Structure 1
Amino acid sequence: MRKALQDSAAPRLRRDAARNRERIIEAARSAFAEQGINASLEHIAKNAGVAIGTLYRHFPKRVDLLLAAFEEKFESFMAAAEVALTAEDPWVGLSSYLEALCGMQAGDRGFNDFVSMRFPSSEETEVMHDRVCEAMESILKRAQDAKVARQDLTIGDLIAVTWANSRIIEATADIAPQAWRRQLMLILESLRYRGESTLEDPPLTNQQLYQAMARLSAS
């Protein structure tokens, strides 16, 4: 009899656990979007209707919750990269990709943080960010090969666009929510190919870029 009761209770417990996990993820998405990736985990648990211990059982580290919260949006972002790589006009591909990225940043403060940073302690996020960098490099190279983008541009310069956009969003989101678009259009004009030109200051090396992104996540 006791075994039968245990067997019948097991599926219910699994369903309860699954519901709790989904509640936590939904509460996290809302909190991260509004407050950024450092939103209070205690408040997320409270809004999900669970104890903080339950949150930690499902997501032992903050980065585990970030991965769950941003998984769908990240895949949508990577789909935008695929569209950019198949655009007939390589410049349209590059500019539309940056616009999609900056638009996602504008609509979600947490995703804004997530794509602008590196999390060295998490192998999963490292793989995700490597995918972003590889897509960026391919989109940029395609535009440079077609001589529609500056030849001295690097992936670090494109990442810097997201950093600049992040600060613009932070300053204007509740005042002029679309202000980032004008600034992005101005930046894009500076990225166009207009003959050979060389800037005096060198671009960030890959190592410097990585260190800068990791520093942002630690601050």
Structure 2
Amino acid sequence: MTSTAEPDSPADRQPEPGLRADAERNRERILAAARRLYASDGLGVSMACIAREAGVGKATLSRRFATREELINAVFADRMDAYAAATAEALADPDPWHGFIGFIQAVCAMQAADRGFADVLAMTFPAAKALEGRRAEAYDGFLELIARAQAGGHLRADFTSQDLVILLMANAGVVAATQDAAPDAWRRLVGQMLRAYATPGTDLPPLEQAPAHTALYRAMLRLARPATGGDTERTDSR
């Protein structure tokens, strides 16, 4: 008696090489589009807008990234790696206070370079496991950095890890508000906050010059201006 092999089930069949290549190209196009839009406009950009920017349909975007958190996890994986690396570099500094200053400046600079990442560091995404894992790793290192800097007598005893969260939230707001009119305003904020964190007599880097009145006025005008039709397409909630 001869037997015939049963056909493969749909789950066992592998996609054709051409289909796999197309899927990978679409994925890369989506990631590139999301990086561009998140960097310029923050995380308020809608999934529909990202699909348009990538030149794919909403269904294609949903197949590659079923949720917003999945997309954010993929887009910012390398930046979260850099965030964790900044903590490790600060801990490797033989001068704990210098390491603390370097960490604060480096992380706030990362926020200034990418509005989306500025938002990521000021929010939490429980469904994005890899991203949150790297955040937790950086957080544990920062706790050690705080303890070392306080033991050295240069960081105020009442400074806590919550103060970093507050700083990152504040810096994200400054970056978003002044990105065009006064793009270096965040440096002034960081300099002033380091002065608030330091014990009396501690050496500090020079304070950045305050933004010009006219630059801040332009930023304030832009914040007061209603969103245009173009801006409306960028968000899910409008």
Sort the TM-score into its range (normalised by shorter chain).
0.7 to 0.9
**Pairs aligned (count):** 191
Higher mean Cα deviation, 148-157 or 136-145?
Answer: 136-145
Contact 2:80 2:131 in 1 (8 A): no
The separation in 2 between residues aligned to 1:191 and 1:8, in whole angstroms, is 57
The separation in 2 between residues aligned to 1:46 and 1:59, in whole angstroms, is 15
Aligned: 1:69 with 2:75: yes
Aligned: 1:142 with 2:148: yes
Aligned: 1:92 with 2:102: no
Contact 2:35 2:75 in 1 (8 A): yes
Q: Please name the residue that 2:22 is paired with.
A: 16
* Partner residue of 2:55 out of 49, 55, 73: 49
Residues 132-175 of structure 1 show CA distances to partners (whole Å, capped at 9, x for unaligned) of 32122121111112111111110001111111111221221111
Greater helix content? 1
Structure 1 residues 53 and 8, CA gap change in structure 2 (3 angstroms): closer
Match of 2:16, SS state, is: helix
Match of 2:103, SS state, is: helix
Code of the residue aligned with 1:79 in structure 2: it is A
Contact 2:100 2:145 in 1 (8 A): yes
Task: Compute the RMSD of aligned alpha carbons.
Answer: 2.1
Residues 27-64 of structure 1 show CA distances to partners (whole Å, capped at 9, x for unaligned) of 00111111111202112111212111111101000000
Code of the residue aligned with 1:174 in structure 2: it is D
Residues 111-140 of structure 1 show CA distances to partners (whole Å, capped at 9, x for unaligned) of 111111112344444323322321221211
Match of 1:162, SS state, is: helix
Q: Please name the residue that 2:42 is paired with.
A: 36
The normalised TM-score by structure 2 is 0.75
The normalised TM-score by structure 1 is 0.81
Match of 1:16, SS state, is: helix
Match of 2:76, SS state, is: helix
Q: What is the identity percentage for the equivalent residue pairs of Structure 1 and Structure 2?
A: 39
Return structure 1 stretches of 4+ with deviation > 4 angstroms. Answer: none
Contact 1:27 1:47 in 2 (8 A): yes
The separation in 1 between residues aligned to 2:67 and 2:199, in whole angstroms, is 44
Contact 1:24 1:45 in 2 (8 A): yes
